[in-house]
Chain A
């Protein structure tokens, strides 16, 4: 890839800012001076990013406990998820963070005062936005750091990820089958028509979601507003809750209804619920609705290198390819075998 094409590439909005500590978050080197002081203005930046729903983490070469204790003393520890404080390369710390959060590496930004560290990261992960501390005064104004909307879900994002960490730890320690673990969560899946108040979150979901996205079609706020009021469309938002709290509004589905043919144009779920298997619950619900209405159910699909799981989900729900053209597939389901609802999930359908 030439430099030119990198320069013109539309940059993803940043989902997580990864901070170095020594001479970045604080002035000085912790191992040499236990009385380091915070960089001027850093707390405001960290809090502002947090309130925009941008996650934050740490990639620092330090002793884990003393660095965490210092962050705790500054009242900042709670702002960082999956902090990587070790002696590994920063590029591997960034891989670990992206993997743990389950987001693309191209949605990370990395702030470090040392050119060597930025170059090392840039060499391994050319898609990470690397920033020097001298760029901090303008950081909050960068377009990459400004999501188009700040929704209830984005404001609570860090808290929701923190609950995920608790859940994942419990899942790792859980003795039993996966089915038993899912049953122990008391999941409640709510499906509702998209209301006016959901539109910002709906647009945010179409832009942010890649792995569990059947077509990748994006719709603007205005388009979604028209679609939710259209008689020939069904625009649904879904929410997941379990005994540890809400995952927020995590799914969006658009069905086009023409006479007796219903076509699922878009079906997406936040990657945070990937391990909960609720994509099938949504598809199952649509199969039941279509059958009741006496309609044929079809689904459009656009393959990417990330969304194979959704292809498998459609196929395992009994959809068959009736048209294929490059990456585009049109599925149809004859609705002859409706699978029973998963016994682990309570389904609530709001009128």
Chain B
């Protein structure tokens, strides 16, 4: 899953200036999560990993950090 993690990191780096976003950093706590980013993240995950993010998946817990996103993608893909 390291390859998936790298792709997610690369995507997040287009948004966040904080150069070293750690795998467990809470991206919501950084204050940069806005409606635009949220939608772009969901669309990125759907396109990049071929998963369908349902309304019930849109729980902040699933997207709060790089680790959380990776785990979510693994769950959806399995």
Contacts and interface: CB of A to CB of B under 8 A. Distances in A.
Q: Do A and B come from one complex?
A: yes
Interface stretch (B1-9, B58-66, B69-77): B58-66
The residue in A274, A278, A311, A315 that gathers the most chain B C-beta atoms within 10 A of its C-beta is: A315
Nearest to B31: A340
B38 A177 contact: no
Interface of A: 177-180, 212, 274-281, 308-313, 315-316, 318, 321, 329, 337, 339-343
Given A313-B35, A342-B31, A177 B13 contact: yes
Contacts of B29: 339-340
Contacts of B17: 177, 179-180
A181 B1 CA distance: 31
Contacts of A341: 31
Contact of A177 (B14, B31, B59): B14
B49 interface: no
The residue in B13, B15, B17, B32 that gathers the most chain A C-beta atoms within 10 A of its C-beta is: B32
A84 B33 CA distance: 36
A275 B14 contact: no
A278 B42 CA distance: 18
When A and B form their complex, which 9 residue pairs have the shortest distance between CB atoms, in order from nearest?
A: A277-B34, A315-B58, A279-B35, A340-B31, A313-B35, A277-B36, A316-B38, A280-B34, A309-B39
A278 B34 CA distance: 7
Interface in B19-63: 28-29, 31-39, 42, 55-56, 58-60, 63
B34 A312 contact: no
Contacts, number: 75
A320 to B, nearest CB: 8
Interface size class of B (residues with CB under 8 A): 20 to 34
A308 B39 contact: yes
Given A318-B60, A342-B32, A343-B31, A313 B14 contact: no
Contacts of B58: 311-312, 315-316
Interface of A is mostly: helix
A177 B36 CA distance: 14
B39 to A, nearest CB: 5
B36 A276 contact: yes
A179 B39 contact: no
A234 to B, nearest CB: 20
A310 B14 CA distance: 22
B37 to A, nearest CB: 6
Contacts of B38: 280, 309, 312-313, 315-316
Contacts of B39: 308-309, 312-313
A343 B35 CA distance: 14
A308 B15 CA distance: 21
27 contacts: A177-B15, A178-B37, A179-B16, A179-B17, A180-B17, A276-B36, A277-B34, A277-B36, A278-B34, A279-B35, A280-B38, A281-B34, A309-B39, A312-B35, A312-B38, A312-B39, A312-B42, A315-B38, A315-B58, A315-B60, A316-B35, A316-B60, A329-B55, A337-B28, A339-B31, A340-B31, A342-B34
B59 to A, nearest CB: 7
Contacts of A340: 29, 31
Given A310-B35, A339-B31, A315 B15 contact: no
A311 to B, nearest CB: 6
Contacts of A274: 36
Contacts of B42: 312
A210 B56 CA distance: 23
B37 A277 contact: yes
B63 A316 contact: yes
A329 B15 CA distance: 30
The residue in B15, B35, B38, B63 that gathers the most chain A C-beta atoms within 10 A of its C-beta is: B35
